[in-house]
Amino acid sequence: MTNRKLIAGNWKMNGSLAANEVLVKALLQGADSAPACDVVLCVPAPYLGQVQALVADSHLALGSQDVSAQTHGAYTGEKSATMLKDFGVRYAIVGHSERRQYHGETDETVAAKAAAALGAGITPIVCVGETLAERDAGQTEEVVKRQLAAVIHVNGHCISEIVVAYEPVWAIGTGKTASPGQAQAVHALLRTQLHHASSEHAPGIRILYGGSMNAANAAELLAQPDIDGGLIGGASLKAPDFLQIIAAAR
């Protein structure tokens, strides 16, 4: 089975009103209005309203980089799933390694955030991935399985609604990409784990690769049988590069 691919841009904490407008307009002009894949832009929260207006009635979907596990109340600085939904957000990244590392997000927090997104009809893009030290210690399989297991444990009943992103931490923003073989090997074991949770839905769950995916390496990564798209940081800020990645996803 081949899934329709998903190409997700993760702008991280980059952009400005002026730069966002230039970037999104270039993406709208440069892309086929009906690309062979789904495309989402995960933008910084202050720009959701701006980008919602820019992508209205286009093939570009809007995404968030995080979501609160809570529904409302005294959680200063947090953004609830229903608030994101108000801005037309369709996808939310949860458990990005930068959130795990700098904001102390645990596997349990990530699972709760995925549940909060699902509860509001937003598709969580659940990130998993090992550090270099974990890979070197031969712990890659154990780490990614533990991270995904927490999400399956809490959200098993709606597992078919999630997207998984394998992002080896050592490949993020470093220019060091996992080789297609290394990435496929981890994707295959994540697929097997999903299969144990739901043999019916596992084949259709999209598993994205992230970590220095760029215009030059995208096609080979996306050709792997269990790589159903990409989560792209740096290269999603450059319209020509992101457009080339979109064109490679078919």
Tell me which residues are annotated as active site. 96, 167
Per CB under 6 A, contacts with ligand PGA among 116-145 are: none
The SS3 call for residue 92 is: strand
Query: Is-contact 126 95, C-beta < 8 A?
Result: yes
Q: What is the DSSP string of 166-178?
A: E--GGGTTTS-PP
Work out whether 63 is an interface residue with ligand PGA (CB under 6 A).
no
Residue 163 engages ligand PGA in binding (rule: CB under 6 A): no
Told to check if 231 binds ligand PGA by CB under 6 A, we report yes
Could you tell me which of 157, 145, 227, 150 has the C-alpha nearest to residue 193?
145
* Minimum distance of ligand PGA from residue 212's CB (angstroms): 4
Structure-derived torsion over alpha carbons of residues 214, 96, 102, 15, reported in degrees to the nearest 10: 50
Largest Cα separation within the chain, whole Å, is 48
Q: Which of 173, 204, 225, 240 binds ligand PGA (CB under 6 A)?
A: 173
- The stretch near ligand PGA (CB under 6 A) out of 17-25, 114-122, 151-159, 204-212 is 204-212
Q: Is 211 in the site for ligand PGA (CB under 6 A)?
A: yes
User: According to CB under 6 A, which one of 212, 215, 228, 229 is a site residue for ligand PGA?
Assistant: 212
With CB under 6 A as the contact rule, which of the stretches 32-40, 57-65, 71-79, 208-216 interacts with ligand PGA? 208-216
Task: Map residue 60 onto helix, strand or coil.
Answer: strand
Please return the burial class of 199, using the count of CB atoms within 10 Å of its CB with bins 0-12, 13-18 and 19+: exposed
Taking a C-beta distance cutoff of 8 angstroms, is the pair 90, 61 a contact? yes
Shortest spacing between CB 195 and ligand PGA, in angstroms: 25
Q: Out of 172, 197, 222, 249, name the contact with ligand PGA by CB under 6 A.
A: 172
What is the spatial distance between Cα 84 and Cα 87, in angstroms, rounded to a whole number?
Answer: 5
> Shortest distance, CB of residue 213 to ligand PGA, whole angstroms?
6
210 binds ligand PGA (CB under 6 A): yes
How near is the Cβ of 34 to ligand PGA at its closest, in Å? Answer: 25
Choosing from 232, 239, 247, 249, the residue that interacts with ligand PGA (CB under 6 A) is 232
Q: Are 126 and 163 in contact (CB under 8 A)?
A: yes
* Residue indicated by tokens 């970037």: 23
Q: Measuring CA to CA, which residue among 20, 24, 163, 165 is closest to residue 98?
A: 165
Query: Should residue 167 be labelled a site residue for ligand PGA when binding is judged by CB under 6 A?
Result: yes
> In the numeric block, which tokens belong to residue 172?
């993020």
Residue 234 lies near ligand PGA (rule: CB under 6 A): yes
Q: Is 15 in the site for ligand PGA (CB under 6 A)?
A: no
Please, what is the minimum distance in Å from the beta carbon of residue 235 to ligand PGA?
A: 6
Binding positions for ligand PGA, rule: CB under 6 A: 10, 167, 172-173, 210-213, 231-235
